[in-house]
Chains A and B, each alone.
Chain A
Amino acid sequence: MKLNILFIADVRFEGGTSTALAVEIQAAARAGLKTGLLAVKGPLLDHPYPMHPGLRALLDGGATERIDPETKVEADLVLLHHPTIMSNRVTRRISIRAQHLVMVLHHPMVDRLGKVQYDLARIINNCRWAFGVNVLLAPVSAIVRDALPRRLPAGAELLPEDWTNLIDLGDWPRRVDGPPHNPVVIGRHARPDKLKWPGSVADALRIYPADRSRYTIRILGGDSFLEELYGQLPTNWEILPFAWTGIPEFLQGLDFYVYYHSDSWSEAFGRTILEALAVGLVTILPTHFQPLFGDAAVYAAPSDVERVIDKFINDVEAYARQSALARDFVSRHHSADLFQQRLERLFGIARPRDSAVERASMIQPLPIRHVLFASTNGIGIGHLAQQMAVAQRLPEGLKPVFATMSYAMKIAANEGYHAHFLTHHRGIDAAPEDWNDVLAEELFDLISHLRPAVFAYDATAVFDGVAAALAMDPNLFSIWVRRPMWRESHRRFLQMANAFDAVIEPGELADEFDHGPTKEMRDKVFLVPPVLHLEPNERLERTAARLFLDLPEGMTVVALQLGSGSNFDMRGVRNGVLKALLDRPDTLVLDIRSPIRADLAPDEPVGPRHRIVELFPSFRYSRAFDAAVVAPGYNTFHENILGAVPTLFVPNEADEMDLQLNRARWAELGGFGLLMRRDHGLPHVDSFVERLLDPAERDSMAARCSSVIWTNGADQIADFIEDHARILRTDWDITKGA
């Protein structure tokens, strides 16, 4: 594949590095250049961040092409963003031929306290080893340039001009001219990081004054760390969570942009400042930013900030003048339109004559990559169903393969998926330690033949055999998808997170009622919304569903789905509920059995209005139901709430299960459903059923359920897998590998 520019970056960076990269990609696309993006997992970020949404949007929109690490590329220019991504050698063979290799230095090599931030010589050596050419260093500012050693490592050269951050002015409309608000709105935005804030509370309060009669302080990217840093925060500080979108609107609501950071931090450039200037905000900064932003900003010591603000409040003309200077500075020095000129000036890369034709000709299919979905379960189906939700959302080019301990494996096979079955120690009467040795062999065997790019494991328990198999291939990107609502007895599995590259937690509607051990790990996982296999709008219409199930019109149909019952005896509940329902002559019970239930003895309906059916996925037909009585396992609970099925929840309270009772309590107390506990409510089953079938009660529950705002977390997990299936890893040192 021939490209004008190959961008190489750790696409998970949240802040300015990714934003700057996004602007360059967009500018190159506008100039009609052929570009590709090769994603790297560098050593700097431990947290399982997804791809920056701005970059993903550019890939999805076709502004650049996703490049697989094994694709052969010839590029006029390779633009490597951020030096740390080459701190280690690339861990797989790449075939990239570059006319020019530029490494954009987004961060100074040495910080303000003299601490070395990255080993430039090692990085240059790794680049030359991977690409076979010399490296052109491109500092983003004079601060970064000045922090470089006078004598560069062999194989490195310094570009004669800075690789300044660019901004697309069209995305940052100028604020409407007018006098400042009263109280004056002072604001700032940055990713949540203590280093991005003044080190002392005294300075912080000089810069962001607590006088609420005069000032409102609006902070985007605040968090609990601010209280850790400063104690109780002033009441006029409005804290907004960090966000990728809505920044221009946030800035347009401010009167002054005031940005000061810790003395320990070296801001290489300050992209957030550039954004404020682009909007035309009067911007107040510490003096060390003057070489970067010149007369576009105003510079002051912390103790002078209020005085400077007062000056501009009292001089409307000076305010308008400063605002115009800010916008003009960005237009002259940092406009995205300058990117093409930079490329032509430095590397002779010109705008192609017929860009549309050339860009269309470059699109090539990516090599097929396999995603191995492994799950436990045995008697259950939930983990497998969740994985199928993700698998069906993977893009072309990623092929799902299943290896499951679920006896319901045929569900995946029947859907056309390549599927394998793994025995669980309980099903074969084996000692866990013996079984783990075998499991490691079995998984390793499958992995070594299939060579998947991603291993996605869905389970509460992580077995030693799984961890041992994963340890054999550090380049296999491994993800543990585990739901919350754990019991304390499952805590021991938390430490197994170390066996994986990322942990993803599908959300819970009943999150507030979760007090389990996973709650403490929230800051270490990628949180996604609740996952559903089928979305509510993918269900059959009521008439079609009733026709399919051969349900007579006019009957009240209640779905009964109480699980396999192998670890929590629900026979009493089933019998009691059945009787109470069938005592009502207009009611028909659809008794939905798991296709892999433990109780396989043939059972007979207790009457003509009791139908026993095997349905998967039963949610597809749920518009046919007028109500349901179910055990609130993760999937069924979220399906019934999000599908607005009026439901009586009967939790399975076995010790080995998740906290189903808490889910049901959330539903009961919020008016989304009803709760009946086996050992507490069974004597009153008639009144529960009466309430469930009361039309007003049903309407009320359905209305509450319909008000829940939700997006399917399966989409985000599929995106995450897609982004990591074609990632070049430099996050571990292969020279020290076995």
Chain B
Amino acid sequence: MRKLTELFLRKGKQKQEVENPGNIYIYKSKEEISTILITTFDVNPDHLEEIIVTTKRRLSGKNDRLIYLTNNPDFAMFRRHGVIFEYLPPLIEQRLHATDMPWQAYLRERWGLLLAKWRPRRVLAYGTTIDTFLEAAPATTVRKAPDTLKS
């Protein structure tokens, strides 16, 4: 399972060696659907509605699905407009729980998985870009308790 994701993450650099990650495409049975991923990291909540309204008006075709990627835990605006959304914990949460897991590795893998899941034909960014978001994630600081094995 993990292998599949790792292969996909190499896609950008080694296109010719990449296995087809299609078997985790979320619309495998609905080939007519195409998707656009819109990142909205750190966007001022007051501007969110306008972004949704504008992108829906300009981008959505009959078979298009817009997927908004947010780091705001309040999903009310997305729900109000009936759009699809994904959530990644914001930097403040990552720092609060920094020792829980290797955030940078996780978020990079998660981003790869989201690309495989949605296979977007376009990725649009409002606010912080995905690259900046991923760069900012805490490096590995998993805590060690006394007297525990190192392995």
Q: How far is the CB of B113 from chain A (nearest CB, A)?
A: 6
When the two chains form their complex, are residues A448 and B2 in contact, meaning their CB atoms are under 8 A apart? yes
4 nearest CB pairs, A to B:
A367-B145, A410-B73, A421-B87, A418-B97
Chain B contacts with A in 98-124, Cβ cutoff 8 A: 99-102, 105-106, 109-110, 113, 116-117
When the two chains form their complex, are residues B24 and A450 in contact, meaning their CB atoms are under 8 A apart? no
B-chain residues with CB within 8 Å of residue A600 when the two chains form the complex: 76, 79-80
Q: How far is the CB of B5 from chain A (nearest CB, A)?
A: 7
Bound form: Cα–Cα A365–B116 in Å: 41
When the two chains form their complex, are residues A419 and B89 in contact, meaning their CB atoms are under 8 A apart? yes
Chain B contacts with A in 1-19, Cβ cutoff 8 A: 1-2, 4-5
When the two chains form their complex, are residues B149 and A435 in contact, meaning their CB atoms are under 8 A apart? no
Bound form: Cα–Cα A431–B30 in Å: 8
Bound form: Cα–Cα A134–B106 in Å: 44
Indicate whether A444 reaches chain B with its CB closer than 8 angstroms. Answer: yes
B116 and chain A: residue at smallest CB distance: A441
Known contacts A419-B73, A437-B23; A70 and B106 CB within 8 A of each other: no
Known contacts A407-B75, A409-B75, A430-B27; A418 and B148 CB within 8 A of each other: no
Can you list, as one digit per residue, whether each of B17-43 has a CB less than 8 Å from chain A (1) or not (0)? 000000111111110010000000000
Q: How far is the CB of B97 from chain A (nearest CB, A)?
A: 4
When the two chains form their complex, are residues B149 and A93 in contact, meaning their CB atoms are under 8 A apart? yes
Q: B148 touches which one: A72, A370, A451 (CB < 8 A)?
A: A72
Indicate whether A1 reaches chain B with its CB closer than 8 angstroms. Answer: yes
Known contacts A431-B30, A449-B101; A423 and B86 CB within 8 A of each other: yes
Known contacts A93-B149, A434-B25; A418 and B93 CB within 8 A of each other: yes
A-chain residues with CB within 8 Å of residue B80 when the two chains form the complex: 600
A-chain residues with CB within 8 Å of residue B149 when the two chains form the complex: 70, 72, 93, 95
Can you list, as one digit per residue, whether each of A401-424 has a CB less than 8 Å from chain B (1) or not (0)? 100000101100110101111010
Binding site for B on A (CB under 8 A): 1, 68, 70-72, 93, 95, 364-368, 370, 399, 401, 407, 409-410, 413-414, 416, 418-421, 423, 427-431, 433-435, 437-438, 440-442, 444-446, 448-451, 472, 595-596, 598, 600
When the two chains form their complex, are residues B84 and A423 in contact, meaning their CB atoms are under 8 A apart? yes
A446 and chain B: residue at smallest CB distance: B106
Can you list 21 A-B contacts with CB-CB less than 8 angstroms, sorted by A residue number? A70-B148, A71-B148, A93-B149, A364-B147, A368-B145, A399-B100, A407-B75, A413-B93, A418-B93, A420-B89, A429-B30, A431-B29, A437-B23, A438-B117, A440-B1, A441-B4, A441-B24, A445-B106, A449-B101, A450-B100, A450-B101
Binding site for A on B (CB under 8 A): 1-2, 4-5, 23-30, 33, 65, 67, 73-76, 79-80, 84, 86-87, 89, 93, 96-97, 99-102, 105-106, 109-110, 113, 116-117, 143-149, 151
Known contacts A365-B145, A428-B26; A418 and B100 CB within 8 A of each other: yes
A-chain residues with CB within 8 Å of residue B23 when the two chains form the complex: 437
Bound form: Cα–Cα A434–B119 in Å: 13
Bound form: Cα–Cα A600–B27 in Å: 28
Interface of A is mostly: mixed
Q: How far is the CB of B109 from chain A (nearest CB, A)?
A: 6
Known contacts A93-B149, A419-B89; A434 and B1 CB within 8 A of each other: no
B-chain residues with CB within 8 Å of residue A1 when the two chains form the complex: 147
When the two chains form their complex, are residues B86 and A421 in contact, meaning their CB atoms are under 8 A apart? yes
When the two chains form their complex, are residues A441 and B73 in contact, meaning their CB atoms are under 8 A apart? no
B78 and chain A: residue at smallest CB distance: A407
Bound form: Cα–Cα A449–B109 in Å: 10
Q: Give 6 A-B pairs besides A420-B87, A437-B23, A438-B26 with Cβ atoms closer than 8 angstroms.
A: A68-B148, A409-B87, A428-B26, A429-B84, A438-B117, A596-B76
Known contacts A437-B24, A451-B101; A71 and B147 CB within 8 A of each other: yes
When the two chains form their complex, are residues A444 and B101 in contact, meaning their CB atoms are under 8 A apart? no
Q: How far is the CB of A687 from chain B (nearest CB, A)?
A: 38
Bound form: Cα–Cα A544–B93 in Å: 32
Q: B29 touches which one: A364, A433, A451 (CB < 8 A)?
A: A433
When the two chains form their complex, are residues A428 and B84 in contact, meaning their CB atoms are under 8 A apart? yes
Q: How far is the CB of B38 from chain A (nearest CB, A)?
A: 15
B65 and chain A: residue at smallest CB distance: A429
Q: How far is the CB of A441 from chain B (nearest CB, A)?
A: 5
When the two chains form their complex, are residues B106 and A449 in contact, meaning their CB atoms are under 8 A apart? yes
Most chain A CB within 10 A, of B80, B109, B149, is at: B149
Q: How far is the CB of B77 from chain A (nearest CB, A)?
A: 9
B-chain residues with CB within 8 Å of residue A418 when the two chains form the complex: 89, 93, 96-97, 100
Bound form: Cα–Cα A440–B93 in Å: 24
A-chain residues with CB within 8 Å of residue B29 when the two chains form the complex: 431, 433-434
A-chain residues with CB within 8 Å of residue B146 when the two chains form the complex: 364-365
A602 and chain B: residue at smallest CB distance: B80
A416 and chain B: residue at smallest CB distance: B96
When the two chains form their complex, are residues A366 and B145 in contact, meaning their CB atoms are under 8 A apart? yes
When the two chains form their complex, are residues B75 and A410 in contact, meaning their CB atoms are under 8 A apart? yes
When the two chains form their complex, are residues A445 and B147 in contact, meaning their CB atoms are under 8 A apart? no
B-chain residues with CB within 8 Å of residue A367 when the two chains form the complex: 144-145, 148
A-chain residues with CB within 8 Å of residue B143 when the two chains form the complex: 368
When the two chains form their complex, are residues B5 and A430 in contact, meaning their CB atoms are under 8 A apart? no
B-chain residues with CB within 8 Å of residue A419 when the two chains form the complex: 73, 89, 93
B-chain residues with CB within 8 Å of residue A445 when the two chains form the complex: 2, 5, 106, 109-110, 113
Q: How far is the CB of A334 from chain B (nearest CB, A)?
A: 36
Bound form: Cα–Cα A442–B97 in Å: 19
Bound form: Cα–Cα A409–B23 in Å: 28
When the two chains form their complex, are residues A434 and B89 in contact, meaning their CB atoms are under 8 A apart? no
Bound form: Cα–Cα A421–B85 in Å: 10
Q: B5 touches which one: A370, A410, A441, A472 (CB < 8 A)?
A: A441
Q: B28 touches which one: A429, A431, A596 (CB < 8 A)?
A: A431
Bound form: Cα–Cα A690–B86 in Å: 47
Bound form: Cα–Cα A93–B65 in Å: 47
Bound form: Cα–Cα A153–B27 in Å: 59
When the two chains form their complex, are residues B87 and A434 in contact, meaning their CB atoms are under 8 A apart? no
Bound form: Cα–Cα A413–B71 in Å: 12
B28 and chain A: residue at smallest CB distance: A434
When the two chains form their complex, are residues A407 and B148 in contact, meaning their CB atoms are under 8 A apart? no
Bound form: Cα–Cα A434–B146 in Å: 44
Q: How far is the CB of B65 from chain A (nearest CB, A)?
A: 7
A595 and chain B: residue at smallest CB distance: B76
A425 and chain B: residue at smallest CB distance: B26
Bound form: Cα–Cα A300–B146 in Å: 58
Bound form: Cα–Cα A358–B65 in Å: 66
When the two chains form their complex, are residues A434 and B26 in contact, meaning their CB atoms are under 8 A apart? yes
Bound form: Cα–Cα A435–B117 in Å: 9
Bound form: Cα–Cα A438–B119 in Å: 12
